[in-house]
């Protein structure tokens, strides 16, 4: 089979550039408007995107003065989108640190049923003390502890999703038997973090269980992805860094006994399009001029673990920053930001401009052909299986990508013209997993 690109749309209110909400045409309440989100979903589905994705965190992130803050709970929002669409995959972020496996497994199984097999779970461990304080903790658990809990959380969830055999429900009216009791399994999980009896109170869903997605790029995050992830969202600012990450995760997956081709690597890209490169760069510069430095510096200080007063706008970053080992939050993003600033000798003002467009993801201002060339280069030179598309401005950035970049990629035979399956797993070329309990019973 011809290898083709996979595209996921990352929906983020008015766009991924932090100042996008200040543009004259921006919808100031986009993050609360279901009609607006449905419109984006339909555009992506009409373009045959594999999936769309909603980020989430159990905390009000950043200063609410900076940009639209707060968001609707993603599995609730995606349930509504499941009725407004018919083919595109629906991926929601949910934390393993501040949920319990039974409730979360039930929500995702329900979404998979409602959508006809289009659900995906972006698994996060949630960094930051502010989130911890919303759940009775004084500070976030240690980075390694969060990943250990996440691994057990996923194992419990998979047991729950598998606790009903595919053929458990028989609906035999003549016998008066709706489900065969011996095909519904008590899981009796007892581990370090969880004790769960089971079974789940939702029968096995169309995909078996949702597509498992992961977005951490630290050492712990890469190991976790190699064990569990079927799609990996990652921030890689250069082709060389993307190639190293791609090869490393594929290698770890093979060492974990998995087929590396079943782990799809999707770096984020923030395309800013113009008829000419100069026009695209002017649009990018216009957005950067709308960044409010005060908010951006405060956010940067949290990411770097240094007081905001030490980040002078026209100076480079302080020489004595913490090491990655000292960071208990988003380790990989910390390293990405520091290496970017050091490599290009950026001032703080320049750095917040670079981060304002995509928070460390690959930003690219250029013509549609130039963007298509970049995507093809990463795809064919071992840095990506597809991309997490993060328009700087919504909806116009998505419309421009669909109308001007996708035709170029289709003409090169790199992207589908029609869906070839109905489930999210089928879009990503992944098999439906067999139930672990059914396999044991069959032996």
**Listed residue (232, 199, 197) closest to 214, CA to CA:** 232
What confidence score (pLDDT) does residue 149 get?
A: 98
Q: What is the longest distance spanned by two Cα atoms in the chain?
A: 79
| Tokens standing for residue 313 | 């706008």
Task: Encode pLDDT of 345-385 as tens digits.
Answer: 888 877 776 676 556 577 888 999 999 999 999 999 999 99
The closest alpha carbon to 339, from 372, 308, 304, 311, belongs to 304
pLDDT digits (tens, 9 = 90+) for 219-235: 899 999 999 999 999 98
Pick out the residues of the known binding site for FMN: 56, 93, 143, 147, 217-218
The model's confidence at residue 216, banded by pLDDT at 50, 70 and 90, is: confident
Binding residues: 56, 93, 143, 147, 217-218
Name the token pair of 426: 């089928």
- Domains by residue range for the chain, with CATH: 6-272+361-442 (3.20.20.30)
Q: pLDDT tens digits for 316-356?
A: 888 877 776 666 556 666 777 787 778 778 888 777 766 76
User: Residue 118 in contact with residue 89, Cβ under 8 Å?
Assistant: yes
Rounded mean pLDDT, 33-37:
96
List the one residue out of 240, 228, 236 whose CA is nearest residue 266.
236
Provide the strand spans (E) within 209-255: 211-214, 231-234
pLDDT computed for residue 331 by the predictor = 61
Identify whether the C-beta of residue 95 lies closer than 8 Å to the C-beta of residue 124: yes
């Amino acid at each position: 089979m011809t290898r083709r690109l996979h595209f996921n749309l990352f929906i983020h209110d008015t766009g991924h550039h932090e100042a996008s909400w200040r543009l004259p045409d921006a919808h100031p309440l986009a993050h609360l408007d279901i009609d607006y989100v449905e419109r984006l979903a339909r555009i992506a589905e009409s373009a045959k995107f594999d999936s769309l994705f909603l980020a989430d965190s159990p905390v009000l992130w950043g200063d609410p003065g900076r940009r639209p803050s707060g968001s609707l709970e993603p599995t609730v929002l995606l349930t509504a989108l499941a009725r407004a669409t018919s083919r595109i995959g629906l991926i929601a972020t949910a934390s393993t640190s501040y949920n319990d496996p039974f409730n979360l497994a039930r929500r995702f199984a329900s979404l998979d049923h409602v959508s006809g097999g289009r659900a995906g779970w972006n698994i996060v461990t949630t960094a930051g003390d502010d989130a911890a304080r919303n759940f009775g903790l004084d500070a976030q658990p240690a980075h390694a502890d969060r990943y250990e809990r996440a691994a057990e959380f996923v194992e419990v969830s998979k047991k729950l999703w598998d606790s009903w055999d595919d053929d458990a429900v028989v609906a035999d009216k003549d016998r008066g038997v709706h489900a065969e009791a011996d095909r519904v399994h008590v899981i009796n999980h007892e581990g370090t973090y969880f004790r769960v009896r089971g079974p789940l109170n939702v029968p096995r869903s169309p995909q078996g269980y949702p597509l498992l997605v992961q977005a951490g790029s630290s050492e712990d995050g890469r190991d976790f992805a190699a064990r569990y992830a079927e799609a990996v969202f990652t921030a890689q600012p250069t082709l060389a860094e993307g190639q190293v990450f791609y090869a490393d995760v594929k290698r770890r997956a093979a060492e974990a006994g998995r087929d590396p081709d079943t782990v799809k690597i999707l770096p984020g890209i923030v395309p800013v399009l113009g008829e000419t490169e100069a026009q695209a760069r002017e649009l990018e510069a216009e957005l950067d001029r709308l960044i409010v430095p005060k908010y951006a510096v405060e956010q940067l200080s949290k990411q770097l673990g240094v007081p905001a007063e030490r980040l002078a706008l026209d100076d480079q970053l302080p020489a004595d920053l913490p090491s990655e080992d000292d960071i208990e939050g988003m380790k990989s993003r910390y390293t990405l930001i520091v290496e970017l600033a050091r490599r290009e000798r950026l001032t703080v003002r320049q750095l917040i401009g670079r981060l304002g467009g995509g928070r460390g993801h690959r930003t690219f201002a250029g013509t549609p052909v130039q963007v298509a060339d970049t995507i093809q280069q990463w795809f064919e030179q071992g840095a990506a299986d597809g991309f997490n598309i993060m328009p700087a401005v919504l909806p116009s950035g998505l419309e421009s990508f669909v109308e001007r970049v996708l035709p170029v990629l289709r003409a090169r035979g790199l992207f589908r013209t029609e869906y070839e399956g109905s489930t999210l797993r089928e879009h990503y070329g992944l098999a439906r997993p067999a139930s672990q309990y059914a396999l044991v019973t069959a032996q």
